[in-house]
Amino acid sequence: MTEYLTIDGGQIAYDVTGDGPLVVLSHGIGDRRQAFRLLAPKLVAAGYRVAAADLRGHGESSMNWKSHDGSDAISRTDVAGDLLALIRHLGGPAVIIGHSISGGAATIAAAQAPELVSAIIELNPFTKTQKLAAGALFTVPRYRKGLVPLMNTMIFKSLGQWMRYLNVAYPIKPADYDEYMAELSAKLQEPGRFAEFMKTGKSTPADAEAQLPNISSPALIIMGTEDPDFPNPEAEGDAIVALMPAGLGTVAVAAGSGHYPHADAPDRVAELAVQFLTEHARA
């Protein structure tokens, strides 16, 4: 059942299931909270209270978020503020599980409010600033196959190119893949939704990278080995951990998974997450 939290004149949509220590799930750009539909029940079964939230501008959350100066407010720092507000509302602390852009948001939230964020799990996160790996376009086929439609999505504002990218980003197709993608496409065709996605796509991870040295919460980075967004996904995870204080971060992999391990390898992600949560989640 969808609930709404009002923040600075906008609303964040979320749902909560289960009982136990709080875990907050936050998805990536161009998606919705139902991306966690296969992972969330496994966390609930393991004894956690699981809240899944729609990013501002996405899913059932409101659109047209603005900063005080009138500029678009849809950065990782903005998302981190939403997650912290939700944790306060639900009576934290919580472990944040953030995918892609929300991995960066999880880092910022952990740095800003360690009393509310007991630990973070980042799934194929964009937490570091990125540079085009030109050589990998020729040597890593999955990188080229993902980057081309991703760039075309942003350049041409093309929903079709986004769906083409997703087909590459899911090397393992969940049983409900076709149904889920049809629903996601319909959501992104609602008035204003694709424009919100485009705004988010222009955000930079620089704010998240700057906060990596400032976290004090344990962190687990889970990378799908076939993620088309990175020439070497495990090396990206290692580079993120290297910027954290020593001993806080670890990297694990979901073999064969793409950019969406919570959906295409939920059993592996649940295994890793529950092991981590058992040690670090607090009621």
Q: What is the 3-state secondary structure (H, E, C) of 64-124?
A: CCECCCCCECCCHHHHHHHHHHHHHHHCCCEEEEEECHHHHHHHHHHHHCCCCEEEEEEEC
Percent of the chain predicted with pLDDT > 70 = 100
CA distances from 88 to 81, 94, 236 (A): 11, 9, 31
Range of the domain at 97: 3-280
Count of domains for the chain: 1
Q: DSSP for 144-157, please give it.
A: HHHHHHHHHHHHHT
Which pair of tokens denotes residue 109? 């939230």
- Between CA 111 and CA 283 the distance in angstroms is 20
Which pair of tokens denotes residue 226? 């076939």
Confidence of residue 136 (pLDDT cuts 50, 70, 90): confident
User: Residue 72's domain is classified under what CATH number?
Assistant: 3.40.50.1820
Confidence of residue 196 (pLDDT cuts 50, 70, 90): very high
Q: What is the mean pLDDT of residues 46-73?
A: 94
| Among the listed residues 168, 202, 258, 227, the one whose alpha carbon sits nearest the alpha carbon of residue 57 | 202
pLDDT of 249 above 80: yes
Confidence of residue 202 (pLDDT cuts 50, 70, 90): confident
* 144 burial level (CB within 10 Å; 0-12, 13-18, 19+): middle
Buried b / exposed e along 148-187 (16+ C-beta atoms within 10 A): bbbebbeeeeebebbbbbbbbbbbbebeeeeebbeebeeb
Which pair of tokens denotes residue 135? 């050589």
Beta-carbon neighbour count of residue 202 at 10 Å? 11
pTM > 0.75: yes or no? yes
Do 35 and 8 meet the contact criterion of CB atoms below 8 Å apart? Answer: no
pLDDT given for residue 78 in this prediction: 96
Query: Tens digit of pLDDT for each residue in 4-21?
Result: 999 987 999 999 999 999
Do 27 and 50 meet the contact criterion of CB atoms below 8 Å apart? Answer: no
- Between CA 167 and CA 136 the distance in angstroms is 20
Do 40 and 52 meet the contact criterion of CB atoms below 8 Å apart? Answer: yes
Handedness of CA 90, 95, 100, 105 (dihedral sign): positive
182 CB-near residues (< 8 Å, 6+ apart)? none
CA distances from 126 to 22, 84, 171, 240, 275 (A): 24, 19, 19, 9, 23
Higher pLDDT, 138 or 206: 206
* 114: preceding bond cis by omega (within 30 degrees): no
CA distances from 56 to 107, 113, 186, 219, 260 (A): 18, 20, 18, 24, 20
